[in-house]
Amino acid sequence: MWQSMSTETFLFETARWILFAVITFVMPILTIGVVRKTRARMQGRMGAPLLQALFDLRKLMQKSEAVSSTATWIFRSGAGIELANMLLLSTLVPWIANKPDGVSSDLFLIVYLFALSRLFAILAALDSGSPFGAFGSSRDATLAMLVEPASLLALVSLAVVAKSTEMNVIFSLTNVLLAHDPGLWFLAGTAIVMASLVELSRMPVDDPATHLELTMIHEAMLLESSGRNLALREFTRALKMTVLFGLSAQCYLRAWDDFWHFPVVAQVWLSIGGILGLALLVGLFESVSVKLQWRKVPEFISYCMTLSLLAAMVAVARGVVH
Amino acid sequence: MIENAHIVRINVDGQERMTRLKTMLHVPGNRLGLITSIDGSQLVTLLLDTNTGRSTVWETPLSSDVYPSLTMMIPQCHWFERSTWDMFGLKPNGHPRLKHNLLHEPYDASLFPLKTDHEVESHDTDRFYKCLEVRGQGVYEIPVGPIHAGIIEPGHFRFSCLGEVILNLEIRLGYVHRGVEKRIVEVPLSRMRFVAESAAGDMIAANALAHAVAVESCLQIEESPRARAFRTISLELERIAMHVSDLGGLAGDIGFAAVSTSMAILRGDVLGCAELLTGTRFQKGFIAPGGISREPSDKNLSQLRTNLKKIQLKLKPIVDFLFSNQVARDRMTNVGILTPKLAADFGVVGVAGRASGIAYDARKSFVHGCFPRQNMVLPVQQAGDVLSRAKVRAEELRSSLEIIYEILETLPGGDTAGAHHDLRSLNRFKFKTNDCGIGIVESFRGELIHLFFTDGDGKIIRYAIKDPSVNNWTALAIAVRNNLLSDFPLCNKSFGLSYSGHDL
C-alpha cells in the first residue's frame, strides 16, 4: 500500500489523519460544552465555560482512584477497552465529511462494535459489585435491546438504496444513487438522533444532570469509577455523543441538495456546525422536557422505530421504481 | 388533675390506657399527639381534640421497665414506642418490630439518655439492627445511604425489589441524633429558644413558634397582637419558601429543569422577604417567648408587600406550567399512593395527610399566632398520589399569601414584646411546679408539637419535640410499595420529610 503511494499523496494523507485526530479530540469537549451551556443559559444561569469538560478531564487524570474491593481486572480494563473501541468506531463511522477512510465500514460491523462497547461497560459495572451498577446495567441492556432494531433499520434503508452496506459507499458524496433523496435522509437522520438520545442516556429517557442514583441508567454504571478510570469513561461517552450526532448531522446535510456540490472545506465546516447545532437543539430540548417514566420509554423508542420503518418503506419503494 | 388554658393532665392506669385510647381515637377529630415518658417511670400519652383545640396528657405510672405494646391495635404507636425504648429503656412488650430508632450500634447498650429516675438495667447486650428480609425467587436488596448523592441529610433506605418494582422499603434513621431533647433542658430559659429552633433547620419559624407558645401557655402570658401578627407572617413565609422549594424539587426529580430552576430562584426571593421581616433569611432568633425579638421597619414592611406581590405574579405561570405539562402530570399521577385508610391508621399529618383525605390542619384547631381560623378551607384531596401532594402545596401557597396580605392590611399597632418587654429577663419567670406547657403549630410539613413538663421546683425536666416527620416517615415506606424503583426519589420528595427533625 505504502509503495504505491507517491510522496505527495502520503504527506496529504498524513496531514488529513492528523487533522482528523485533532477534530476527534476537540469535538467531544465542544459538543458536551455546547449542551451544558445551552441548558445553563435556558435556566438563566451563566453556566460553566465551554471547555469545562476538558478541565474536568485534566482534574480527573490527576486524581487518585478508589477501586471497590470486589473489583477485578475486568473493572479496571473496561474503561480502556471502551475507549479503544470508541476510537476505532470514530475512524469507521462517517460522522464528518471527508473523513479519511478506515479499514472497513460495514454498517453491521459498526452497530455491533457499539454493542461490544456496551458489553464491556456492563461487565465493568457488574464487576464493581455495587447494586447501582447492577440495575444500571440491566436498564442499559434493556434499552439497547429495544433501540437496536430502530437504528439498524434506519441504516439498512440507506444501504438498500445505495446497494452496499459499506458506510463509506452509502455516505460517499460521489454516490449518485442517494444524491436526490432528501426525504429518506431526513427520516434516517431523525431516527438516528432519537436512537442516540436513548443510546446516550439523555432526556427524555435519562436525566444526565441528576444526582438520584435510583433513577439513573448510564450514570449508575459509572458510580464506582473515579480518577483516570472515570476520565476515560467520560471522554468515551462524549466521543460517542459526537460520533452519533455527527452521523445524524451527515444525514441531515445530505438531505440538502446544495451540500453535495460544496467545496470540501465548506463541507467539513458544515459537518462541525451540524454537530454543534444538534448539541444546541438537544440542550434546548432537555431544558423544557420532562423525563419519561421507565415504563413509558418503549413508547418513545416506538416513535423512533416508526421513523425507521418509514425510511425502510421509502427505500423499498425506490427499489421498485428503479 | 392539673389544668391550664390549653392542656389537661390526668392520671390513667395501664389497663385503662389500653382500652380508652382505642375508643378515643375512633371519635372523629381526636388524634394521638405523641407517646413518650418524663423520666422513665411513667408513660405519657398526648391526646389532641382537633375540634375544640384542647389537649389531654395521660400519665400512666409504670412499676417496671416493660409495658404492653399498643402497636398491634393502634399502628401509629409503633414509632413512638420504639423511640421511647431508645430514650428511656421502656420496653413495649409485643411490639412486632422492635428496633432501635435513634441510638445505633456504637452507643453503649445500657445508655438510655433521658432516663433519670433510677438505676438503669439493660435488656440487651448490643444494639444489633437487622432489616426486614424479603425472600423469594428474584428478590434482591438495594441499600441506599446513609450518605446520599445530594446535599441532604443522612438516612438509610433498604429496598427489597423484584425487577424494577419495590416490594418493601425499610427506612433507618437516627444518623443525625444529637441529643436536642436532653440539651434543651440544660440551658437557661432565655436560651432555650435557640436550641428549640435548631431542631430542624428548615422549620425554624415553626419550631420557634411552638416553643414560644408552649412557654407562654405554661406561664399563662400572652404576646401582643402586633407580635402575633408578625409571628404569623413569619410562619407563613417559611411555608411559602418551603412549598416553593418542594414543588421545584418535584420538578427537578422528573428532570423538568425549566420549572425546578425557576422555583429555586423564587425560593430565594421568598427568603429575601423573610430577611426583610426578621433580618435573617432563615428567620433565626426572631420569634421568642413573650413576643418577637426585632421590630421590622415600616419601610421593610411595605417592601415586603411589594415583593410578595411580585413573587405571586411570577409564581402562577410556573405552577401552571408544571401542572399543565402532560408528561409531568403523567409522572405524578397514580404514583406513590397513600390510601386514606392507611393515612388515618398511621396518623399522617400535613400535606401528605391532606392529600390522602385527612382534613386536618393545626391552623384550624390550635392556638398559635393568629390561628386557629375555624373558617379556613383545607385543600383536601382523596387520591393520595404524588400529584395530590403537589396540588395541596400549590393551593397552600395561594392561601398562605392571602393570609399574609390580610394580616398586613390589618396590622395592629403597639408594642411587639408584649407585657414582658425585656426578653432577656425571661429567666426571672418561674414556672408552676409539676406543670406542663404545650405548643402545637402547623409547620409547612404538618403538625409540630412541643410539650414540656416541670418538676417540683418549677424547672423544666422534660422537653419533648414531635416533628411531623415522625408520623410521616412510615407513610412514605408504605406509599412506595409496588411502585417503580426509579419513582422512589419522586415519592420521597413529594413527602418532603426531615431527618434532623426526626432524629433530634
Half-sphere exposure (Cβ direction) of B307: Cα atoms closer than 13 Å? 19
Please name the residues in contact with B109: beta carbons below 8 A apart, sequence gap of 6 or more.
B122, B124, B125, B126, B127
pLDDT for residue B346? 93
B254 contacts A295? CB cut-off 8 A: no
**Crossing angle of helices B225-253/B257-278, nearest 10°?**
160
A103 reaches B (C-beta below 8 A): no
B484 contacts A295? CB cut-off 8 A: yes
CA A53 to mean position of chain CA atoms: 17
Q: What are phi and psi of B418, to 5 degrees?
A: 70, -160
Quickly list H helices, B347-385.
350-355, 362-365
pLDDT digits (tens, 9 = 90+) for B24-78: 888 888 999 999 999 888 899 999 998 888 899 999 998 888 899 999 999 999 9
Q: The CATH number of B180-503 is which of 1.10.10.10, 2.30.30.60, 1.10.645.10, 3.10.20.30? A: 1.10.645.10
- Domain segments of chain B: what residues? 2-131, 180-503
A43 reaches B (C-beta below 8 A): yes
Residues of A in Cβ contact (< 8 Å) with B141: 131
Residue A49 has pLDDT above 90, yes or no: yes
CB of A301 within 8 A of CB of A146? yes
A211 contacts B330? CB cut-off 8 A: no
Average per-residue pLDDT for chain B = 89
Q: Are strands B165-172 and B156-162 parallel, antiparallel or unpaired?
A: antiparallel
Distance CA A258, CA A280 (A): 23
pLDDT for residue B145? 78
Q: B2-131 with B180-503: one CATH topology? A: no
pLDDT digits (tens, 9 = 90+) for A252-300: 999 888 888 888 889 899 999 999 999 999 999 998 888 888 888 999 9
- Range of lowest pLDDT (A93-102, A127-136, B189-198, B484-493): A93-102
| Interface probe, candidates B147, B164, B254, B488, chain A, greatest A C-beta count within 10 A | B254
Kindly provide the ipTM of the predicted complex, given to two decimals.
Answer: 0.84
* Fold assignment, B2-131: Beta Polymerase; domain 2 (3.30.460)
CB of B203 within 8 A of CB of B437? no
A176 reaches B (C-beta below 8 A): no
pLDDT for residue B1? 37
Quickly list H helices, B27-163.
77-88
CB of B350 within 8 A of CB of B446? yes
**Crossing angle of helices A73-92/A107-127, nearest 10°?**
160
Nearest-neighbour CA in chain B from A283: distance (Å) = 11
The 10 Å Cβ neighbour count of residue B52 is: 11
Residues of B in Cβ contact (< 8 Å) with A214: 142, 144, 485-486, 488-489
pLDDT for residue B124? 61
pLDDT for residue A82? 93
A106 reaches B (C-beta below 8 A): no
Helix, strand or coil, per DSSP, at residue A163? coil
CB of B209 within 8 A of CB of B439? yes
The 10 Å Cβ neighbour count of residue B433 is: 12
pLDDT digits (tens, 9 = 90+) for A173-227: 877 777 788 889 999 999 999 999 998 888 888 888 888 888 888 888 888 888 9
Partner-chain residue, chosen from A43, A203, A213, that has the shortest CB–CB distance to B149 = A213
Residues of B in Cβ contact (< 8 Å) with A38: none
Backbone CA torsion sign across B116, B119, B120, B125: positive
Nearest-neighbour CA in chain B from A57: distance (Å) = 21
B258 contacts A212? CB cut-off 8 A: no
Partner-chain residue, chosen from B255, B484, B486, that has the shortest CB–CB distance to A290 = B255
| pLDDT of chain B, 504 residues: tens digit per residue | 344 556 888 888 888 888 888 888 888 889 999 999 998 888 999 999 988 888 999 999 988 888 999 999 999 999 999 999 989 988 999 999 999 889 988 888 888 888 886 665 656 667 888 888 898 998 989 998 798 887 888 999 999 999 889 999 999 999 999 999 999 999 988 889 899 999 998 999 999 999 999 998 888 888 888 889 999 999 999 999 999 999 999 999 998 988 999 999 999 999 999 999 999 999 998 998 888 888 888 899 999 999 999 999 999 999 999 999 999 999 999 999 999 999 999 999 999 999 999 999 999 989 888 888 888 889 999 999 999 999 999 999 999 999 999 999 988 887 776 545 555 567 677 888 888 899 999 999 999 999 999 988 888 999 999 999 999 999 999 999 999 998 999 999 999 999 999 998
Burial A255-275 (b: 16+ CB within 10 A, else e): beeebbebeeeebbebbbebb
Percent of chain A with pLDDT over 70: 98
Distance CA A6, CA B407 (A): 90
**Identity (one letter) of the amino acid at B106?**
P
* B368 DSSP assignment: B
A291 contacts B255? CB cut-off 8 A: yes
| Interface probe, candidates A41, A137, A203, A215, chain B, greatest B C-beta count within 10 A | A215
A300 reaches B (C-beta below 8 A): no
Distance CA B413, CA B124 (A): 59
List the beta bridge partners of residue B75.
none
Distance CA B244, CA B268 (A): 10
Report the phi/psi class of residue B467: left, alpha or beta, with left for phi > 0 and alpha for psi in -120 to 50.
beta
A293 contacts B253? CB cut-off 8 A: no
Helix, strand or coil, per DSSP, at residue B164? coil
Q: According to the 3-state scheme, what is the secondary structure of A48-72? A: CCCCHHHHHHHHHHHCCCCCCCCCC
Grid coordinates of A271: 459537518
A70 band by pLDDT with thresholds 50, 70 and 90: confident
pLDDT digits (tens, 9 = 90+) for B161-219: 998 899 999 999 999 999 999 999 999 888 898 999 999 989 999 999 999 999 988 88
A287 contacts B258? CB cut-off 8 A: yes
Average per-residue pLDDT for chain A = 89
Nearest to B287 by CA among B403, B194, B410, B405: B194
Sheet holding B156-162, edge to edge: B139-144, B156-162, B165-172
Burial A166-186 (b: 16+ CB within 10 A, else e): bbbbbbbbebebbeebeebbb
Residues of B in Cβ contact (< 8 Å) with A212: 149-150, 253, 489
